Amino acid sequence: MQQLTRFAVDYVGYVLKGGSKFYAWMAVLALFILGMLYVFFLQNTDGLIVTGMTSQIHDGLYFANLVFLVGVAAGAVTIVFPAYAYHHEGMHKVAVLGEMLAITAVIMVMMFVFAHMGRPDRLWHMIPPWGIYSFSSMLGWDVMVLNGYLILNIVCGFYYLWCKYTGKPINNKWFLPVVYVAIVWALSIHTVTAFLISTMPSRPMWFHSMMPIRFITTAFAAGPALIILIFMIVRKNTKFWVDDSAIKLLTTIVTWCLGLAIFLTLSEVVVELYARTEHANGLYYLMFGLHGLTRLVPWFWSAVILMIGAFVLFLIPRFRNDFKLLPIPCAMAFAGIWIEKGMGLIVPGFVPTPIGEVAEYYPSFVEVLMTLGIWAFGFFILTILLKGAIGILLGEIKYGGPAAVAK
């Protein structure tokens, strides 16, 4: 117990120390978090009427980010799997950083669930077996598998850091089986999220068996793209060195998963629009507009340009191998998939409604500020987790020694 207390004290003490750049970053994030708390208060007092969602389109920016972030959480397995299944040395050194990202992403997903439900007193509906959504709703199952994935990553990540902190050997008899369970579980969380929307016959745009495959491919493109960007920041701003081999492997994963995602998306476009029926109206609305409503058209074509542009740049050796240029296609891929998996997938699924109504949705100021605040909260948590983890990996936080000042 004394060691555990010391671990927490040293971890927090190390994280709280830093330079002006660190404090400025955390202060900016804190401002957005305060904005999030303000609009959450508005939601709780005035109701979800303050958002742009309506009876016709009741899933908007919150749900779009929820779906996307589940993919980011699942994408962390692209580090853990090569590290433990293929014993990739470069990946093994940074596997725990991927687990910290997974923890953060799942926490953000839970916050978007919280925001999407409108009021905190409704959360009991998610608690099995009492909640009405715990087993009867796919959202309830999604929340349960996400909580399981969160627990697995907390156990694996912090046990590894604990062993590094205390100098004790890792007990692989139970640690490795838990890691392998977490790897398989990562696939399940995004599969269940795909089932959340693909099991609705009244929404033709979503109702097909390829949805889980599309979700997995985009997850394994967006997640590693974000991880590469984070690794670049870590290499530049800390003494912890991420091996080139790890970044190159992640780049390969992003390239081919992004290519598969583009192929699946364009295949769906051909199948739906070749012999267009009323079932293709959602996709047609997204691509070209419907009955004069065109608000989502720029989102779709922006996503297409970003994703295809990123894929082409990844294929060019100059961009793929130059770590100064690599963040450009990574940022493009991440942004493109965010649009494609979010506003470009969730909202058009509601247009038109099952009874033929054609309505349009656009996020309100409350939704935008809430979303920015949750992302800021996520980066706030991620900064804390990564900084402490890097301190332990560098040996600057260890049992029996004073915590060094973080740079």
pLDDT digits (tens, 9 = 90+) for 98-126: 999 999 999 999 999 889 887 777 777 76
The least confident of 175-184, 258-267, 350-359 is 350-359
- What are phi and psi for residue 290, nearest 5 degrees? -145, 125
Please give the Cα distance from 400 to 377 (Å, whole number). Answer: 32
H helical segments located in 118-243:
138-166, 172-198, 211-237
The mean pLDDT value for 368-387 works out to: 96
Quick one: pLDDT band at residue 404, thresholds 50, 70, 90? very low
Please give the Cα distance from 128 to 137 (Å, whole number). Answer: 11
Residues 6+ apart with CB under 8 A from 100: 157, 382, 385, 386, 389
pLDDT, the chain, mean: 89
Residues 6+ apart with CB under 8 A from 191: 212, 215, 216
Q: Residue 407 pLDDT > 50, yes or no?
A: no
Identify the pLDDT of residue 406.
Answer: 46
CB-count burial class (<10 Å; 0-12, 13-18, 19+) for 179: buried
pLDDT digits (tens, 9 = 90+) for 142-156: 888 899 999 999 999
Tokens of residue 247, six digits: 């970044």
Identify the pLDDT of residue 210.
Answer: 86
Closest by Cα among 248, 252, 253 to 232: 248
Q: What angle do CA 251, 252, 257 make, to 5 degrees?
A: 100
Identify the pLDDT of residue 390.
Answer: 94
Identify the pLDDT of residue 217.
Answer: 92
| C-alpha distances out from residue 116 to 189, 289, 296, Å | 19, 26, 21
| C-alpha distances out from residue 90 to 83, 178, 217, 229, Å | 8, 21, 23, 16
Closest by Cα among 341, 52, 97 to 224: 97
The mean pLDDT value for 13-18 works out to: 90
SS3 category, 359: coil
SS3 category, 64: helix
| Whether 50 contacts 364, CB under 8 Å | yes
pLDDT digits (tens, 9 = 90+) for 63-95: 999 999 999 999 889 999 999 988 899 899 999
Q: Residue 271 pLDDT > 70, yes or no?
A: yes
Please give the Cα distance from 343 to 300 (Å, whole number). Answer: 8
Quickly name the fold that domain 2-393 has: Formate dehydrogenase/DMSO reductase fold (1.20.1630)
Q: Which residues pair with 290 in a beta bridge?
A: 293
Give the DSSP H or E segment for 80. Answer: helix 77-85
Identify the pLDDT of residue 132.
Answer: 63
The mean pLDDT value for 5-15 works out to: 90
Closest by Cα among 262, 227, 283 to 337: 262
Residues 6+ apart with CB under 8 A from 338: 68, 222
| Whether 246 contacts 232, CB under 8 Å | no
Q: Residue 202 pLDDT > 90, yes or no?
A: no
- What are phi and psi for residue 323, nearest 5 degrees? -70, -10
